Every structure is written in C-alpha cells, then in structure tokens.
DNA sequence: CCCCAGTCCTGCGGGC
DNA sequence: TGCCCGCAGGACTGGG
C-alpha cells in the first residue's frame, strides 16, 4: 500500500521523463469498474490541463504533485492500490487515466492505474492548494520532522503511539505498515501513550523513522503478497523481504529470536510487534 | 478541538 | 463447485 517510500519511488520513477513535458491529451479509461471522479469533473479538468507544460513532479506526504506552468497543481493520491506508471500497467481493466505527454520530439504515455479505485485526482489553483493541503492540514513530513517536533507534538496527546503515527496532521507520510516496522526498530510498544514517551525513546523514534523510510526508499518500497505495488516501470519493490514484524504474526521475532510476533488491532487497523523487544 | 467508528472500493481467501 | 462474508488500510465524515 503506497506510503511515503512507495510514493517517493513513484515520483523518482516518473520525474525525469515527466518534468518539462507537455500534456498533449488527457483521457479517461473505459474500464468496467466504478470510475474515479476527479475534481473538478473530468471534462473540465481535461480542458484546464491540456496543452500545459508540467514544470515539476514532487511528493507531498503520500501524494504526487504535478506543478503546471500556469501554477495550478495536479495532485494524485494513490491511497491503497493506485500506481503511476510509464510502463504498461499490470492490467488493462483497472487503468483509470492516461496522459499523453510530449518532451521534445519524444511522445509517451503516463498512466494512473488503480485496482480498488480509492485513489483520487484533483486539480488545485494555488489558493485551493494552500487551503486543502497547507500546514494546518498536514503535519511535518516524516523524513524531515525533528526530535524536538516529535516531542512537542506527542506530549499533547495520550493516544497510543501507533495510532498517533497514522495521524497525518501529527506527522505526514507514515502508514500502517511502516508504523509497525518503525516502532519495532525503536523498541517502543505500539500501545505506549504518546505523553508517556521518554526522551531516550523519542531519540530512538526520530532516528528509526528516517532509518526505516530511507531504507525502504532505497529498496523501492514494499510489494506485498497481493503484488499490487509496482514502481513506474511496473517492477516490484524489495523492502517486503526486510520486514521484521509486519504480517509476521506467530513467527519468531527475527530481532530477539525468543518471543513470537503479536498482532493486535488498534483503531481498526492491524499492528504487529514483539512484546519482548517492545515492552 | 479531540478522538473514534463508519464509509468508500475491489479482489482474495476461508468456511460451508 | 459456487457463494457469501470478512479483511486489507489510504483519508474523509459525522457525531459524541
């Protein structure tokens, strides 16, 4: 499921080809499943972006932002199963949108593919962008947040740390999979109340966040057994082979070799941890 | 304001 | 063999 590392991999995978390219056409795919409705509606959005140059492709938390030459931003949120691809998508039936792009003499396609269709596509003016995705809507990016900021933000709440880490207003970019992996490396129980976390634990946490996310980026993200996540060239990631706790219920903890991994449900989401390493 | 449960969406796997 | 149900978790919404 695309979290920060997977979205960063998508951005890096399309950036070179897409930055500086011009949108020749924008098409909606006629798949049998329920169509994704962009904002604004498709024909209006198509009219507003056709012919424009894409100046920059960046990541904002778990979103992909394509900055257009007229200052509008096209924002893609892959959510659970969305992919941005330069290569042919995994299947034709879940292809959602296609941008025909031209860079110099080269013409090529950029695809948005999404099996479950929870992904979103939105076009924002600069004012709308600030209103919808400004600082009060999203916390600091997980790769940039400092130990001091963690401390200031966590002391304000008594929620369990794992639940708070998924709150995008508190910190942006961490999702369910990496939250478990980060807490395991930091040796912190997912149940620990935020306002109860010690200085030395904060230090471990802020280091573990960057360590896990950077390593996951290096390995181009996690492709789970359903095989959904792919990079821009439709290739699987490699970080799933390095998971220590996520999806490992009842298996021996690879860190301590003693306890077995426990699965609990927090805020309706699975959490995996080792009760020995993370007391 | 804070927090939680419910909702969207599709494919898959288990139970019968 | 086929059907039904629950589950996976991004982010948003409504209500306590």
Q: Are A89 and A95 in contact (CB under 8 A)?
A: yes
Compute φ and ψ for A215, nearest 5 degrees. Answer: -65, -40
Query: For residues A270, A272, A276 and A279, what is the CA-based torsion angle, rounded to 10 degrees?
Result: -50
Nucleotides of C under 7 A from a protein CB: 7-12
Q: How many independent structural domains does chain A possess? A: 2
Query: Are residues A21 and A72 located together in one domain of the fold?
Result: yes
**Å from A27 (CA) to B15 (C1')?**
43
In a domain, A39, yes or no: yes
Q: Structure pTM? A: 0.96
In a domain, A140, yes or no: no
Picking from A102, A133, A164, the residue at the C-terminal end of a domain is: A133
Query: Are residues A32 and A81 located together in one domain of the fold?
Result: yes
Q: What is the pLDDT of residue A268?
A: 87
In a domain, A50, yes or no: yes
Query: Are residues A119 and A177 located together in one domain of the fold?
Result: no
Q: Are A277 and A259 in contact (CB under 8 A)?
A: yes
Q: What is the pLDDT of residue A217?
A: 96
In a domain, A138, yes or no: no
Closest nt to A118 (CA→C1')?
A: B9
The residues of A assigned a catalytic role are: 2-3, 62, 269
In a domain, A78, yes or no: yes
The span from the CA of A193 to the CA of A83, in Å, is 35
Query: Are residues A163 and A269 located together in one domain of the fold?
Result: yes
Query: Are residues A22 and A74 located together in one domain of the fold?
Result: yes
Any residues with CB less than 8 A from the CB of A219 and at least 6 apart, and which?
A: A237, A238, A239, A242
DSSP code per residue over A114-165: ESS---EEEEE-HHHHHHHHSTTTS--BTTT--HHHHHHHHTT--SBHHHHH
Residues near strand C (C-beta below 7 A) are: A 1, 3, 61-62, 77, 79-80, 116, 118, 166, 168, 175-177, 265, 269-270
Query: Are residues A105 and A174 located together in one domain of the fold?
Result: no
Query: Are residues A46 and A110 located together in one domain of the fold?
Result: yes
Range of the domain at A48: 4-133
DSSP code per residue over A155-200: TT--SBHHHHHT-TTTSBS--HHHHHHHHHHTT--TTSBGGG--HH
Cis bond upstream, residue A40 (ω within 30):
yes
Count, residues in chain A: 279
In a domain, A141, yes or no: no
- Whether any strand B atom is under 7 angstroms from the Cβ of A115: the reply reads yes
- Whether any strand B atom is under 7 angstroms from the Cβ of A34: the reply reads yes
The span from the CA of A40 to the CA of A61, in Å, is 22
CATH number at residue A55: 3.20.190.10
Query: Are residues A8 and A129 located together in one domain of the fold?
Result: yes
Closest residue (CA) to C1' of nucleotide B9 is A116
Nucleotides of B under 7 A from a protein CB: 2-12
- State how far the alpha carbon of A53 is from the alpha carbons of A49, A68, A121, A263, A277, in Å: 9, 6, 18, 47, 51
Q: Are A33 and A66 in contact (CB under 8 A)?
A: no
Q: Are A157 and A150 in contact (CB under 8 A)?
A: no
Q: Are A114 and A81 in contact (CB under 8 A)?
A: yes
Mapped onto helix, strand or coil, the DSSP state of residue A206 is helix
Which structure tokens are listed for A172?
């942006």
Query: Are residues A82 and A194 located together in one domain of the fold?
Result: no
- Whether any strand B atom is under 7 angstroms from the Cβ of A168: the reply reads no
CATH number at residue A211: 1.10.8.50
Q: What is the pLDDT of residue A34?
A: 86
Query: Are residues A255 and A194 located together in one domain of the fold?
Result: yes
The span from the CA of A176 to the CA of A44, in Å, is 35
Any residues with CB less than 8 A from the CB of A180 and at least 6 apart, and which?
A: A162, A190, A245, A246, A271, A272, A273
- Whether any strand B atom is under 7 angstroms from the Cβ of A92: the reply reads no
Query: Are residues A108 and A161 located together in one domain of the fold?
Result: no
pLDDT tens-place values along chain A, 279 residues long: 799 999 999 999 999 999 999 999 999 987 778 899 999 999 999 999 999 999 999 999 999 999 999 999 999 999 989 999 999 998 888 999 999 999 999 999 999 999 989 999 999 999 999 989 988 889 999 999 999 999 999 999 999 999 999 999 999 999 999 999 999 999 999 999 999 999 999 999 999 999 999 999 999 999 987 778 999 999 999 999 999 999 999 999 999 999 999 999 999 899 999 999 999
In a domain, A32, yes or no: yes
Q: How far apart are the first and last CA of chain A?
A: 28
Query: Are residues A28 and A96 located together in one domain of the fold?
Result: yes
Q: Are A142 and A62 in contact (CB under 8 A)?
A: no
In a domain, A142, yes or no: no
């Amino acid at each position: 499921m695309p979290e920060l590392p997977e979205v960063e991999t998508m951005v890096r995978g399309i950036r070179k080809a897409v930055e500086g390219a011009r949108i020749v056409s924008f098409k909606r795919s006629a798949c049998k499943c329920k169509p994704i409705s962009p904002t604004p509606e498709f024909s209006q959005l198509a009219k507003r972006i056709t012919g424009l140059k894409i100046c920059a492709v960046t990541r904002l938390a778990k979103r992909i932002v394509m900055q257009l030459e007229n200052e509008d931003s096209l924002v893609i949120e892959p959510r659970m199963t969305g992919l941005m691809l330069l290569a042919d998508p995994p299947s034709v039936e879940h292809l959602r949108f296609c941008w025909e792009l031209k860079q110099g003499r080269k013409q090529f396609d950029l695809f948005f593919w999404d099996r479950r269709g929870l992904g979103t596509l939105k076009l924002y003016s600069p004012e709308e962008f600030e209103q919808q995705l400004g600082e009060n809507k999203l916390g600091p990016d997980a790769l940039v947040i400092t130990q001091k900021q963690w401390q200031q933000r966590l002391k304000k709440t008594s929620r369990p740390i794992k639940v708070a880490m998924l709150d995008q207003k508190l910190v942006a970019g961490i999702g369910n999979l990496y939250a478990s992996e980060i807490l395991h490396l930091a040796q912190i129980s997912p149940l620990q109340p935020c306002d109860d976390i010690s200085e030395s634990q904060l230090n471990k946490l802020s280091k573990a966040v960057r360590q896990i996310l950077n390593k996951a980026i290096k390995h181009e993200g996690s492709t789970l057994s359903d095989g959904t996540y792919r990079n821009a060239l439709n290739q699987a990631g490699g970080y799933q082979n390095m998971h220590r706790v996520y999806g490992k219920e009842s298996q021996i903890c690879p860190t301590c070799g003693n306890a077995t991994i426990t699965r609990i449900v927090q805020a309706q989401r699975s959490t995996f941890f080792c009760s020995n390493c993370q007391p």
